[in-house]
């Protein structure tokens, strides 16, 4: 494979992003927020953090032709879930995505 002009090196590795760190204020704000869909209809649960499109924001994505990060051509990239403050957790909502909630909340 030919190296693209912007890339200085080709690798078969996965580029790993550093996880975002959310403080207690951001976690509390997001846990209370009720997101809406494209038509303005509110979701039936609070704390939805994604995905907001058909493609997951978090996790590993592979690209045809790779992706250039920091001058290297990687075959994929991995975006981890954020690290949340004590007392909060990120849970998977089947068929929806992820939401943040207080640990003591149902």
What pLDDT was estimated at residue 58? 84
**Residue 3 domain flag:** no
**Residue 2 domain flag:** no
Q: What is the span of the domain harbouring residue 68?
A: 9-102
**Residue 44 domain flag:** yes
**Residue 4 domain flag:** no
Work out the average pLDDT over 48-59: 74
**Residue 79 domain flag:** yes
Cis peptide before 51 (omega within 30 of 0): yes
Residue 60 has pLDDT above 60, yes or no: yes
The alpha-helical segments, DSSP class H, found in the chain are: 24-32
**Residue 1 domain flag:** no
**Residue 91 domain flag:** yes
Global confidence as pTM? 0.76
**Residue 19 domain flag:** yes
The residue with tokens 């981890």 is: 80
Rounded to 5°, the CA angle 53-57-63 comes to 100
pLDDT digits (tens, 9 = 90+) for 6-43: 777 878 889 999 999 999 999 999 999 999 888 999 98
| 6-10, 19-23, 54-58, 90-94: segment of lowest average pLDDT | 54-58
Percent of the chain surpassing pLDDT 70: 90
Taking all residues of the chain, what is their mean pLDDT, rounded to a whole number?
A: 87
Q: Are 89 and 24 in contact (CB under 8 A)?
A: no
How many domains is the chain partitioned into structurally?
1
96 or 34: which leads in pLDDT = 34
């Amino acid at each position: 494979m030919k190296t693209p002009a912007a890339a200085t090196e080709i690798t078969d590795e996965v580029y790993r992003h550093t996880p975002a760190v959310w403080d207690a204020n951001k976690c509390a704000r997001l846990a209370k927020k009720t997101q809406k869909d494209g038509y303005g209809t509110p979701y039936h649960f609070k704390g939805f953090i994604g995905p907001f499109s058909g493609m997951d924001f978090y996790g590993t994505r592979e690209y045809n032709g790779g992706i250039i990060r920091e001058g290297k051509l990687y075959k994929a990239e991995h975006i981890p879930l954020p690290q949340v403050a004590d007392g909060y957790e990120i849970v998977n909502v089947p068929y929806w995505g992820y939401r943040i909630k207080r640990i003591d909340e149902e």
